Amino acid sequence: MDIKEQLKDIKTQLRLSMNGVVSHSMREKGLNYKLNFGVELPRIKVIAGMYEKNHELAQTLWKENIRECKILAGLLQPIDTFYPEIADIWVENMPNMEIAELTCMNLFQHLPYAPAKSFHWIAAEEEYTQVCGFLTIARLLMKKGEMEDRPTDEFLDQAICAALSGSYHVRNASLLALRRYMQHDTSHAFRVCRLVEGLADSTVEAEQILYNMVKDESIE
């Protein structure tokens, strides 16, 4: 099948798997798409398994304003043809947290340039660019755990700043990355504790959230 036929076939598979209850629930939660079939993730992965990874197909799927197509794009995009400039375009057009989380999990964390690119993203001003940066770093920390000293300093500075002053989604993503960093080693946890110990008596909500997360993680 050519790309046009594959896209048509995928949409047929999605319609056959449509879940109106899930779709309605997502709309109520503010996840708005031009089209949302409400297909659950395990089924989307099954559909992805019916096709070979293909750059042109993945790029075509990403351009569709359809929830399931964007998820499939991350699953079907080959790593070797997903160049840094394309990654930037995807991140610039990230529609919501669900797609950000799944794309970071299914694609971004596996990119050979993910460490450098994620640091570039967390330093950006756009909300979902920062989100993707922190989520990718969190994934990389789960796999490797270690950073070199200079990147670690930059990461901790950016993450703490985002946790204190970023948008809701940026704060949550940065806290997740900090948590993953702390979980790798007690020395990591101690280092973050030292950075936030001055917030112990703060009455600012964001500072309390950060301090309490660090405190709870260090106890565990």
CA distances from residue 182 to 19, 139, 148, 155, 192 in whole angstroms, order as listed: 39, 13, 15, 12, 7
Largest alpha-carbon pair distance within the chain? 63
Rounded CA-CA distance 132/155 in Å is 14
Checking if the pLDDT of 122 tops 80, the result is yes
Rounded CA-CA distance 205/220 in Å is 23
pLDDT in tens, 15-74: 888 877 666 676 666 666 777 888 999 999 999 999 999 999 999 999 999 999 999 999
87 φψ region: left (φ > 0), alpha (ψ -120 to 50), beta (else): alpha
Q: Return the closest-CA partner of residue 6 out of 81, 45, 61.
A: 61
pLDDT in tens, 67-121: 999 999 999 999 999 999 999 999 999 999 999 999 999 999 999 999 999 999 9
Arithmetic mean of pLDDT over the chain: 91
Task: Give the chain's domains with CATH numbers.
Answer: 1-81 (no CATH), 97-220 (1.25.40)
Checking if the pLDDT of 174 tops 80, the result is yes
